[in-house]
Amino acid sequence: MSALLEVEELDISFGALSAVRGASLEVRRGETHCLVGESGCGKSVTALAVMGLLPRNSVRQARRLAFDGKDILSLDEKGLSRLRGDRMAMIFQEPMTSLNPAYTVGSQMAEVLVRHRGASKRAALDRAAELLARVRITSPGMRLGQYPHQLSGGLRQRVMIAMALMCDPELLIADEPTTALDVTVQAQILRLLADLQKDLGLAILLITHDLGVVARTAHRVSVMYAGEVVESSPVDRLFNRPMHPYTRGLLSCVPVPGKVRRDQPLGSIPGMVPHVTQGFEGCAFRQRCALARPDCSGPIGRRRPEADRVYLCQIAPEEMTVS
Amino acid sequence: MLQFLARRLLVALLVCLTVLTFAFALTRLAGDLAISIAGPNSTAADIEVVRKAYGLDRPLVEQFFDWVSRAMVGDFGRSYFFREKVSTLIFSRLPITLTLGLVGLGIALSVALPLGVISALREGRPIDRIISLVALLGQAMPSFWLGLVLMITFGLHLGWLPISGTGTWQHFVMPGVVLAFSAIPALMRLTRSGMIDAMSADYIRTARAKGLSRTSIVLKHAARNAAMPVVSIAAVQLGFMLGGSIVIETVFALHGVGFLAWESISKNDFPTVQAVVLLLAIIYTLLTLGADLLNAVLDPRLRAA
């Protein structure tokens, strides 16, 4: 069976700026796929491209972009809007501003079911109350009549999640859903997402820059750097044996109890993320990479060291010195 | 919501009281009323008679409270010039002004809102530029000139519409259009900028992610948030149309309140001036209050404030 979401060779540019280059990833049914990387590496844009929500001044190209085996690249806005909110849904980084201040929680939730299923307002509100309870909001009936400004950030994000679930989507894209929230609330939201995923068999594409989140929630991970997916792997193997030098650098920046010694500085990656414009050649990480070789400025091949793993580097696994 | 309403009403009342005081003070500052009423050829004795007859010899404070207490019950005295009760005079003129203002606002809104929305959705494209240019021309056109052009074209040459008077609804079409023209640019620009802001808001991205139709996104989710400044300015524009349509009322010979204000000021008919000023102040205050209430209905966050 094919993956639920297939992205192959996705390119996104804003004028001369190349935001995403040749990104490929797959989200399988019922799996949590984490997309990690630094700010500005193209994670959010990739997600928006899948949803067809890119800003007007951007250009999207791909070899293949498919949902449930069906091409969504050629769908127009109307065709795509039939899918959005129904079979694939998205929640965002900014819970404070993502709900419309002028309408009640209930009205904003209900319209999703009315739109996609032709449900009556009454039935849609019942469904909304049920889902608010599902995301562990107390007294859902009362919350339905409230406006976003009467809710805290954590509650608003729960409402967003509940709203995304109105039509029982198969795919939920969550773009840094916990970044704007308090640490304690973050943990609750992540646990909620994990539970929902298990109970509803949701596939989740979770965008984050927090490797702790990845370790706790992901089945698979794709690491992005400067617009490219540089490594894709099942989560345990990525943490045990990172392949791409960038992934290795990233993992060395994380303090692990028992492994990090107090008197030694934490790892860091020297240098800065390059500014990538169109026509860029070679590996974007080469200026910061300790293993860089002359052929890193040419075309970079994909390596598949084992089943289910891909990384984008000139250096073969056996040539990598253990750092 | 009730507390909000009570507070707004109190503020409105204070504004009216302040205007009352100023209206009184300004007419007294304009010169000795007895002299101007008695006329240019009167003797000192005539003036004294007038002063006594109109009660102008009493202390100012006494005159003020006398006027205010009568005004409270709708008695504004008799006009010095029209030989009529001021209240009768005003209420015979008010329907004309109200009709004109509402027609003007109606035309203005039905042109400005769609154009503003279209402009916002096509920001930076040719159609947006063209609409902005037309709005600029509208703003630059003096209303008396536009009024005359319309009269010559549609009244004289084409003979479609009557050029003066108030007999039928057709009489209000041209003045309404002229009045609307001055209000359209501001309303359109506010609609445009409000819609541009709203359409780039995060909640519109959410609405799109929910797969809502374009119509619902624009007219339900964006428009309601863009409407608030438009409501406020529309109220001010209507106030301006009701109180400031002197030029248009003159051009089209519509004897409304604006025309009355101008007549009574030039004739130093101070009971009428005071009453007209007060009436316009009350209208303005009510309109602002109405706009605030409408905005509170549109935006739940305002209700809490």
Q: What SS3 string covers A299-314?
A: CCCEECCCCCCEEECC
| pLDDT higher than 60, residue A152 | yes
Q: How far is B298 from chain A (nearest CA, A)?
A: 7
Tell me the mean pLDDT in the region A53-72. Answer: 92
| pLDDT higher than 90, residue B70 | no
* Residue A277: DSSP 8-state: B
**Confidence band, pLDDT 50/70/90 cuts, at residue B305:** low
**Confidence band, pLDDT 50/70/90 cuts, at residue A288:** confident
Tell me the mean pLDDT in the region B19-23. Answer: 83
Q: Which residue has the higher pLDDT, B97 or A273?
A: B97
Q: Do B203 and A101 touch (CB under 8 A)?
A: yes
**Confidence band, pLDDT 50/70/90 cuts, at residue B219:** very high
Residue B213 with chain A: CB contacts under 8 Å: 81, 115
Q: Do A102 and B214 touch (CB under 8 A)?
A: no
Q: Do A83 and B213 touch (CB under 8 A)?
A: no
Residue in B202, B205, B211 closest to A85 by CB: B211
Q: Choose the mutation target among A91, A99, A100 for the interface with B, i.e. most B CBs under 10 Å.
A: A100
B170 in a domain, yes or no? yes
Residue A81: closest C-alpha in chain B: B211
Domain boundary among B42, B71, B100: B71
B273, B279 contact by CB (below 8 A)? no
Looking at residue A277, its pLDDT comes to 78
- Cα A99 versus chain centre, distance: 20
Residue A50 with chain B: CB contacts under 8 Å: none
What is d(CA B192, CA B169) in angstroms, rounded to the nearest whole number? 31
Q: Do B300 and A147 touch (CB under 8 A)?
A: yes
B126 in a domain, yes or no? yes
What is d(CA A140, CA A123) in angstroms, rounded to the nearest whole number? 15
In 3D, which of A12, A17, A87 has the Cα closest to residue A43?
Answer: A12
| pLDDT higher than 90, residue A292 | no
**Confidence band, pLDDT 50/70/90 cuts, at residue A174:** very high
For residue A34, the cross-strand partners are A206, A221
Do B156 and B299 lie in a common domain? yes
Query: What backbone torsions phi and psi does residue B155 show, to the nearest 5 degrees?
Result: -85, -55
Q: Please state, for a pLDDT cut of 90, what percent of chain A lies above it.
A: 60
What is d(CA A160, CA A185) in angstroms, rounded to the nearest whole number? 14
* Residue B85: DSSP 8-state: B
Residue in A99, A101, A116 closest to B299 by CB: A101
Q: How far is B216 from chain A (nearest CA, A)?
A: 10
Residue B298: closest C-alpha in chain A: A102
B218 in a domain, yes or no? no
**Confidence band, pLDDT 50/70/90 cuts, at residue A253:** confident
Q: Do A115 and B211 touch (CB under 8 A)?
A: yes
Tell me the mean pLDDT in the region B49-66. Answer: 81
Looking at residue B56, its pLDDT comes to 78
Looking at residue A260, its pLDDT comes to 67
pLDDT tens-digit readout, B103-133: 999 999 999 999 999 999 998 899 999 998 8
Chain B contact present for A94, CB below 8 A: yes
Q: Choose the mutation target among B195, B210, B220 for the interface with A, i.e. most A CBs under 10 Å.
A: B210
B14 in a domain, yes or no? yes
Do B12 and B147 lie in a common domain? no
What value of ipTM does the predicted structure carry? 0.89
Residue identified by tokens 């020297």 is A270
**Confidence band, pLDDT 50/70/90 cuts, at residue B151:** confident
Q: Which two tokens stand for residue A225?
A: 């750097």
CATH of A3-87+167-319, one of 3.30.56.10, 3.40.50.300, 3.40.630.10, 3.30.310.50: 3.40.50.300
Q: Do A89 and B210 touch (CB under 8 A)?
A: yes
Judged by DSSP in three states, B114 sits in helix
Residue A97 with chain B: CB contacts under 8 Å: 201-203
Do B66 and B95 lie in a common domain? no
Q: Do A112 and B224 touch (CB under 8 A)?
A: no
Write down the mean pLDDT value for chain B. 85
Q: Do A81 and B208 touch (CB under 8 A)?
A: yes
**Confidence band, pLDDT 50/70/90 cuts, at residue A321:** low
pLDDT tens-digit readout, B140-149: 888 888 888 8
Q: Do B212 and A85 touch (CB under 8 A)?
A: yes
Domain boundary among B44, B71, B98: B71
Domain boundary among B71, B103, B132: B71
- What is the domain partition of chain A in residue ranges? 3-87+167-319, 96-166
Do B67 and B156 lie in a common domain? no
Residue in B206, B213, B300 closest to A92 by CB: B206
Tell me the mean pLDDT in the region A13-23. Answer: 90
Looking at residue A1, its pLDDT comes to 60
| pLDDT higher than 80, residue A311 | yes
Residue in B208, B298, B300 closest to A149 by CB: B300
Looking at residue B244, its pLDDT comes to 65
Residue A99 with chain B: CB contacts under 8 Å: 203, 206
Element containing residue A36 per DSSP (H, E): strand A32-36
Q: Do B209 and A102 touch (CB under 8 A)?
A: no
Residue in A92, A102, A103 closest to B202 by CB: A92
Do B108 and B21 lie in a common domain? no
Q: Do A101 and B300 touch (CB under 8 A)?
A: yes
For residue A88, the cross-strand partners are A84, A171
Cβ-based neighbour number of residue B192 at 10 Å: 25
Looking at residue A106, its pLDDT comes to 96
The contact set of B with A (CB < 8 A) is 201-203, 205-214, 216, 221, 224-225, 298-301, 304
- Cα A188 versus chain centre, distance: 18
Do B165 and B261 lie in a common domain? yes
Q: Please state, for a pLDDT cut of 90, what percent of chain B lies above it.
A: 24
Going by DSSP bridges, is the β-strand pair A310-312/A228-234 parallel, antiparallel, or unpaired? antiparallel
CB pairs under 8 A between A and B: 76
| pLDDT higher than 90, residue B93 | no
Q: Do B299 and A102 touch (CB under 8 A)?
A: yes
Cβ-based neighbour number of residue B99 at 10 Å: 18
**Domain encompassing residue B14:** 2-71
Q: Which of A245-249, A272-276, B84-88 has the highest mean pLDDT?
A: A245-249
Chain B contact present for A121, CB below 8 A: no
Going by DSSP bridges, is the β-strand pair A64-67/A5-14 parallel, antiparallel, or unpaired? antiparallel
B213 in a domain, yes or no? no
B156 in a domain, yes or no? yes
Q: Which residue has the higher pLDDT, B271 or A243?
A: A243
Characterize B208-234 residue by residue with b for buried, 16 or more Cβ atoms within 10 angstroms of its Cβ, and e for exposed.
bbbbbeeebbbebbbbbbbbbebbbbb
Q: How far is B290 from chain A (nearest CA, A)?
A: 19
| pLDDT higher than 80, residue A128 | yes
Do B43 and B138 lie in a common domain? no
Please count the structural domains in chain B: 2
Looking at residue B65, its pLDDT comes to 85
Residue in A82, A84, A97 closest to B201 by CB: A97
